Amino acid sequence: MPTLPVEHSGPPERGDAARNRALLLQAARRLVDERGAEAVTTDDIAAAAGVGKGTLFRRFGSRAGLMIVLLDEDEKAQQQALLFGPPPLGPGAPPLERLLAYGRERLMFVDAHHALLSDVGRDPQMRFNAPMALHHRHVRWLLETARTTGDLDAQATALLALLDADYVHHERTDRHRTLDELADAWETVARKLCGS
């Protein structure tokens, strides 16, 4: 695949822009990890990155724009781990083991990224498109290689419903369930569907 040529001698503004972008993402990630996405403002991020707030809006358009870049980076890292990382999440482990590892890993991911995933999930188009389609494909494929009987699309959908950001948030906050309880519940359903 051809790669874009790397600009080595751009005007100084280009280098500054890239540097500021990286600083802002780094600062945003640290603050979100520390406090949760809801508690992080653009003022906080700009201050922590040591740049002006105008720079944040020039680089990302809005707070939501920056958060979507963060989510996208994390989604890509998780996809990498699912497809190419070490077992049991990545290849090498038996499909059922990989499926169970996926459930626990994804549960932690949607818990940590609740606010943004919830926004994205509110759009009915997004719910059935990338990146959600990738998760469906992955779970469906693990069900298939685990020789699960019946309609695999429906079973993948049922499993992913238990990893929906709004559902997990509701169970955690309104019903006071722990991530471990939700992971165990997911495992039960996955095992039943796989017939194990």
155, 172, 178, 180: residue in contact with a second copy (rule CB under 8 A): 155
50 vs 195, which CB is nearer to a second copy?
195
Whether the CB-CB separation of 69 and 61 falls below 8 Å is answered with no
Q: Which residues contact 116 (CB under 8 A, 6 or more apart)?
A: 37, 67, 68, 70, 71
Interface map 112-151 toward a second copy (x if CB under 8 A): ------x---x-x--xx--------------------xxx
H helical segments located in 113-164: 114-121, 124-127, 132-145, 152-161
DSSP letter at 41?
Answer: -
Q: How far is the CB of 29 from a second copy (least distance, A)?
A: 25
Q: Tell me the HSE value of 102 on the side-chain side, using a 13 A CA sphere.
A: 30
Q: Which of residues 86-105 bind a second copy (CB under 8 A)?
A: none
Q: Which is nearer to a second copy, 43 or 153 (CB)?
A: 153
Residue with tokens 């165990």, as numbered in its chain: 184
What amino acid occupies position 104? Answer: R
Of 75 and 171, which has the nearer Cβ to a second copy? 171
Which residues contact a second copy by CB under 8 A? 118, 122, 124, 127-128, 149-151, 153-155, 157-162, 164, 166-167, 170-171, 174-175, 181-182, 184-186, 188-189, 192-193, 195
